[in-house]
Amino acid sequence: MCVVQVDCPCAPSDKVGINSVQRAYEEILPMRAMKMSWVPYVPLEDRLSRIEGLKTKIFTLHCSQRRSALKHLKTEQVKKFDYCMPCKLH
C-alpha cells in the first residue's frame, strides 16, 4: 500500500508520471488512462450524512482498475501501475 499526500492551495493534478530507474524517460499520462482519479476524503463520522455539502481539502488517490483485470494485463502495463505517481505540472 502506498499513501500519497498532496498539500497545495490548488486542486491536485489529473496527470500521473511513470518513471523508474530502468526507464530512459518519464512518461506523463492523464489519470483516466490508468483508471485513476482523486476522490474527496470523507471522515468516518460524516459518511452517513450528505456528502454534497461537505467541503474538503483532502483527496485520496483512487484506482478503479479491477484486480481480476490486472491478471490479464501484459507485463509492461502492470509495470506502469508499479511506477505510477501523481505529478504536478508547472
Phi/psi-derived region of residue 18, left when phi > 0, alpha when psi is between -120 and 50, beta in every other case? beta
Q: Say how many domains are in the chain.
A: 1
From the number of C-beta atoms within 10 Å of its C-beta (0-12, 13-18, 19+), residue 76 rates as exposed
Q: Is residue 47 part of a domain?
A: yes
Question: In which domain, by residue range, is 29 found?
Answer: 15-87
Decide: pTM greater than 0.85: no
Q: Is residue 83 part of a domain?
A: yes
Q: Where are the alpha helices (DSSP H) in 1-90?
A: 67-70, 75-82
pLDDT of residue 69: 80
pLDDT digits (tens, 9 = 90+) for 34-54: 888 888 777 777 666 665 666
Q: How confident is the model at residue 30 (pLDDT cuts 50, 70, 90)?
A: very high
Round to whole Å and give the CA distance between 31 and 59.
14
Round to whole Å and give the CA distance between 41 and 54.
10
Q: Is residue 5 part of a domain?
A: no
- When pLDDT is averaged across residues 19-28 and rounded to a whole number, the result is 80
Q: Is residue 31 part of a domain?
A: yes
Q: Is residue 2 part of a domain?
A: no
Q: Is pLDDT above 70 for 4?
A: no
